[in-house]
Amino acid sequence: MSTASRPYPIVQDLIESFAGWLKHRREMNELRQLDRADFDRIAGDLRIAPDDLEELVRHGKHAADELPKLMEQLGISAEGLGRAQPLLLRDMERVCSLCNHKGQCDRELAAGTAAENYHGYCANASTLESLDRADVVPH
């Protein structure tokens, strides 16, 4: 829907943000209602530590949105990596989701300087450097 066809775009954006926040709160509430054994079993099924699972859920589904943007600036295909090494990509998404440098990363991505500066703050830097570019460059 274009801005012209939305009579109050700012209000609509606020409503959508609030709806997303509410949905996340409901998901968090569902998670809290699980007993510890069920929660630990889910974490085990996902092959991650229960503390990491709890933190990932708390951060929400967009917590790793920076990773594909950074990979694009580096000339790496997230889709190609997902095909070639899906477990590696999943682990990189986990690392990105738990990152404490989101603000800096977002600023660098917006400025188009992330490819030059990510080494100083990105916990995935060494992994990104070690990727076999032949498997993951866009075709």
Residue spans of the domains in the chain: they are: 9-59, 66-136
- Which two three-digit tokens encode residue 56? 């990932």
Instruction: Indicate the DSSP class of residue 1.
Output: -
The whole-model pTM stands at 0.66
- At 89-129, the pLDDT tens digits run 989 998 999 899 999 999 999 999 999 999 999 999 999 99
- The amino acid occupying position 95 is V
Q: How far apart are CA 110 and CA 98, in angstroms?
A: 20
SS3 call for 58: helix
| More confidently predicted of 131 and 135 | 131
**H/E element, 13:** helix 9-33
Contact 97, 63 (CB under 8 A): yes
How far from each other are the two terminal CA atoms of the chain, in whole angstroms? 32
Spatial CA neighbour of 61 closest among 6, 14, 107, 24? 24
* 62-73 pLDDT, tens digit each: 889 999 999 999
- 14-29: average pLDDT: 73
